[in-house]
Amino acid sequence: MVEERIRQLEATVSRLAHQVDTKPPGAGGGSPPAVFTNGLADANLWTNRFSLTDVGLNWHLIQYLKVYLDWQHGDFGSPVQFAPGRRQETSDMFLLRAQLVF
């Protein structure tokens, strides 16, 4: 019996930008993204641009076991607070996860 191990490489790039629009929506202006109008973020206090690069590998070791390895790199338009008194313009996160199907 030949066992086939499947490897999948995935990559995505996401961007979020908010520009203050002085024109009303009916006069050619657009409405800001919901994240800024529903109380989730305040562009005046935090960054108004964000870019996320996500590169990962899904590896099916056997039929019932899958391993995820992922790297996410975030770039902020202006420094954001990540700890009391500390700010940063980028963020990196590494993830490793295993999934067992039974």
pTM of the full structure: 0.65
pLDDT, tens digit only, all 102 positions of the chain: 445 677 888 888 888 776 655 555 555 556 666 766 777 766 666 777 889 999 999 998 888 899 999 999 999 888 888 888 888 999 999 999 999 998
How far apart are the C-alpha atoms of 42 and 19, rounded to whole Å?
Answer: 12
70: its two tokens: 């992922």
Q: What angle do CA 59, 63, 66 make, to 5 degrees?
A: 30
Q: What is the DSSP string of 56-100?
A: EEEEEEETTEEEEEEEEEEEEEEEEEEETTEEEEEEEEEEEEEEE
Q: Locate tokens 């024109």: which residue?
A: 23
